[in-house]
Amino acid sequence: MGWDYSEKTKKLFMDAVKGVPGTHLGEIEDPDGLGEHGSIACGDALRFTFRVDRHPSDPTKDVIVEARYLTFGCTSAIAASEALCRLIEEKKVTPIEALAIKNQDIVDYVDGLPEQKIHCSVMGAEALQAAVFNWAQKRGVDLGKLGIDILPEEQDEGRMVCKCFGLTEPYIRRKIKELNLRSIPQITNAIKAGGACMTCHHTPGGLQDILDDVWGKEERVVIQSGDFPIRREAAPSASGFSDYQLGKMVEKTIDEEVRPTLHKDGGDIEIVDIKGTMVYARLTGACETCAIGDRTLHFVVERALKEKVDERIRVIAV
């Protein structure tokens, strides 16, 4: 299935992958601030860097003048990252002022995201916080004395709740409160917790217990179908598909979505093997020797397969 993206989201994405002047896909060498969030194993990852114009005597007055990102993700991940960079540069803010940019600001900037893609905006806000923490360490700024609690250690400390995505109880609790998450599907959409094996949904100490503890049982939103709770909202997934069915879906997407694009430039693609959600492929024809072949595999081939087949798919060049 495809996602219903806004025109602005699609334009931000296309401009970024085409490298249109003024876009921000890339990385700043020796940055003043560097933050990362997510992991490739989780399906989404963002590396965010910024450079500041340093104030000669007061580092809290440094102003961010350049921002860049590298992301492993889908259309919304790239568009949301692009939006984050633009928001920061357009506002001409200090790193501390940049912390006021929240995931909802990113969602608003791209004219909305599908509910199942909200986690892309959260990923940007989290990477920004990590980058500001990194800047503060380099510049000797004590964020605690300024009343700023970024809590970068949350991911590493505390009881592990969602083992698939490595998310701890302190982190999940904070995001439930910050984002006003009231149900397990909302948690999954926002931070991906519970989005894979789903065993943490109703296990003792799991997501539902945390929701009950934060909001109270009488106030929580219970989404039910008959007598059974819905474990998650529908999202593209190969779960339930046999290897044969997944292979056919990949072939169909390549034939209908990818090949027509490659043929315009005299190129083509060969699917060599599929193992789980790993698709091994090689570009052929004019694309075989193209200098941006890796970007084509990532931004054209992999993106299409993530959108149409399963967002966990990775394309490996062979």
**264 vs 65, which has greater pLDDT?**
65
- The percent of residues above 70 in pLDDT, for the chain, comes to 86
Contact 266, 286 (CB under 8 A): yes
Give the contacts of 312 (CB within 8 A, at least 6 positions apart).
43, 237, 238, 277, 306
Give the contacts of 14 (CB within 8 A, at least 6 positions apart).
none
From 74, 85, 120, 200, active-site residue: 120
From residue 91, how far is each of 98, 100, 128 by CA, in Å? 9, 11, 15
DSSP state of 297: I
pLDDT at position 155, please?
52
pLDDT in tens, 56-88: 999 999 999 999 999 877 788 899 999 999 999
pLDDT at position 154, please?
53
Summarize the confidence of residues 265-282 as an average pLDDT. 84
From 42, 74, 162, 200, active-site residue: 42
Structure tokens, 71: 């992301």
Closest among 64, 8, 58 to 35, alpha carbons compared: 64
3-class secondary-structure state, position 48: strand
Closest among 164, 3, 135 to 79, alpha carbons compared: 3
Neighbours of 100 (CB within 10 A): 9
pLDDT in tens, 193-228: 887 777 888 888 889 899 999 988 754 444 443 333
Look at 40-54, 109-123, 225-239, 256-270 and tell me which has the smallest mean pLDDT: 225-239
- 200 catalytically annotated: no
Closest among 12, 196, 208 to 110, alpha carbons compared: 12
Burial class from Cβ neighbours inside 10 Å (0-12, 13-18, 19+) for residue 216 reads: exposed
Burial class from Cβ neighbours inside 10 Å (0-12, 13-18, 19+) for residue 282 reads: middle
SS3 per residue for 50-85: EEEECCCCCHHHCEEEEEEEEEECCHHHHHHHHHHH
- 164 catalytically annotated: no
